[in-house]
Structure 1
């Protein structure tokens, strides 16, 4: 059997991929844009090309391929994704190689990686909250991601937090994602300031005392506290693990969020907030675990070193 798998995390903006060995060494990483504006067929072809190029760089056929993709997904079919626009795409159509393949939901793959390898390694029940271009959660119960009856479990980004608020792309009003995702933070600041910017820049401006940035950041943490209070009261998690690009802001996000969450949970203690240990590599490493599952080696990953997994980082 080959010594590596191809792991690919397909996001709405970019794809992060790598070759991951049995010992957890990430021997190669790369990033490419996701050409979703060109339609689902172009995205499928881009995935096929990326997988083929990664495998070729390894010098041998991989033991398996793991793909973390958005939307409704089973182990062998990408059923639906609003962001990409595809319907009922078999796993085999995404991989131009005659090797075992396993698909998984992108955020649940990140939650799986954090559960097996990262911040949730010693926690059996937690929420992995990915705050990136959008917002989604992975519900981890007894160490395993829970997708719900039809695979839609964890869509916390579409909890309406401000019922009289701004419209969301999903068709609802006032969704969490409309206020607290990285794209929303950038959009809402840009609309008020009159110039385009990024969520990272808004975070920096918040630190320096910019009042517009501070107001946008306040709305984001307020929205998050509302959604997480609801989640906590329903499922009583041991912890909440914060991942995704916006979580890279660290204590600028987690400190006010922890304070507001506790103030909403008036009669009980709020669950602790932990930073994701695997950073933006989480879903890609979850895809690697899926790849080793596909290859018939589900035990791979149990002894992987966190220090090894965090380097190299997919830029």
Structure 2
């Protein structure tokens, strides 16, 4: 994309979404729109220091790209990272899949980017922020975002913000015990929700049941659709566990919207039809929230990182008015 006069001097922020294997980045405009996107491998096999260096280099390249495209530097940056994140102090405290501990990422990025304000966010909470503001939860004052992937995480949205909690653990619904005395979880408990209803748990159960080690949750969903009794049993087990966890959450949080994302949600109505029934069957006095699929896919983290960056700046400081 060349430089166009029409794009000269466009206020924008840098948005970075750091995953275990890949990094997604964007330059985001004042309405949250992604004006330029880029990707590259995280390179975790080179060790935590190299990963951090790669993030800083990528951010610096994005800054230079913004100057070239839009005639000015980014006014802020937002970055979403996995693991345990101290958002208040801007520290990436721990991520098993990246091997880092206590990385002062906000300070390092601010230094590298010439002192612009930098926001650091947890990947799932940041994706949840985007789903709540510009995705499936748009307009909901209270929502719960639950991505069903390798594990199960969650983001609690209240009035356009996502709750981090006192220690950064708010929303960790995957470690609510739904089957007391059940399967051991790496977290140290037994019977955690993510041992039964994550995409990884369904993949594992289906691979064992059908004897194909390569079979995954998507294959299980296809078999459910064709009426395979083994697949139906495994799928219903996951749906029941998920409904138990979600009803616990909605009893505590009373959200208006439940947004389900991640790999398992890609099964569409094969998941949502029985899940709505299972949640409905369990509620007594609780009000049923609307239960909807996530809308933003793998751009949620990037969009959310952009929103975090704009939030750092005074809202009156934007040149465009967000609708």
Instruction: Please tell me the TM-score bracket, short chain as reference.
Output: 0.7 to 0.9
How far apart are the structure 1 equivalents of 2:321 and 2:166? 28
Q: Give the equivalent residue in structure 2 for 1:250.
A: 268
Q: Give the equivalent residue in structure 1 for 2:154.
A: 137
Moved more, 246-255 or 295-304: 295-304
Q: Kindly name which structure, 1 or 2, has the bigger radius of gyration based on alpha carbons.
A: 2
Q: Secondary structure at the match of 1:260?
A: helix
Q: How does 1:55-74 map to 2 (within 5 A)?
A: 55-58=63-66, 59=68, 61-70=73-82, 71-74=84-87
- Residue deviations 1:237-290, cap 9 Å, x none? 222112223222221111111111111113444322022232332221110011
Q: 2:101 aligns with which of 76, 87, 92?
A: 87
Q: 1:197 aligns with which of 215, 221, 224?
A: 215
Q: 1:97 aligns with which of 99, 102, 113?
A: 113
Q: How does 1:145-160 map to 2 (within 5 A)?
A: 145-160=162-177
Distance 1:118 1:159, change over 3 A: same
How far apart are the structure 2 equivalents of 1:273 and 1:218? 17
How far apart are the structure 2 equivalents of 1:175 and 1:299? 45
How far apart are the structure 1 equivalents of 2:44 and 2:177? 26
* Contact persistence 1:6–1:288 (CA under 8 A): yes
* Contact persistence 1:131–1:246 (CA under 8 A): yes
Give me the CA root mean square deviation. 2.6
Distance 1:298 1:88, change over 3 A: farther
Following superposition, the deviation at residue 138 of structure 1 comes to 0.9
Distance 1:184 1:144, change over 3 A: same
Distance 1:173 1:264, change over 3 A: same
Q: Give the equivalent residue in structure 2 for 1:19.
A: 27
How far apart are the structure 2 equivalents of 1:64 and 1:246? 34
How far apart are the structure 2 equivalents of 1:57 and 1:206? 47
Q: 1:241 aligns with which of 226, 250, 259?
A: 259
Aligned residues: 304
Following superposition, the deviation at residue 177 of structure 1 comes to 1.4
Q: Give the equivalent residue in structure 2 for 1:187.
A: 204
Asked whether 1:261 is paired with 2:265, we answer no
How far apart are the structure 2 equivalents of 1:32 and 1:181? 26
How far apart are the structure 2 equivalents of 1:239 and 1:24? 22
Q: Which consecutive unaligned segments of at least 5 residues does structure 1 have?
A: 305-315
- Residue deviations 1:165-208, cap 9 Å, x none? 22222222221112222222223322332321343333233323
Q: Secondary structure at the match of 1:135?
A: coil
Q: Give the equivalent residue in structure 2 for 1:309.
A: none
Q: 1:7 aligns with which of 4, 15, 22?
A: 15
Q: How does 1:203-218 map to 2 (within 5 A)?
A: 203-218=221-236
Q: Secondary structure at the match of 1:136?
A: coil
Distance 1:13 1:207, change over 3 A: farther
Q: 1:278 aligns with which of 288, 291, 296?
A: 296
Q: How does 1:164-179 map to 2 (within 5 A)?
A: 164-179=181-196
Distance 1:175 1:297, change over 3 A: same
Moved more, 74-83 or 159-168: 74-83
How far apart are the structure 1 equivalents of 2:224 and 2:57? 40
Q: Which consecutive unaligned segments of at least 5 residues does structure 2 have?
A: 1-8
How far apart are the structure 1 equivalents of 2:92 and 2:85? 7
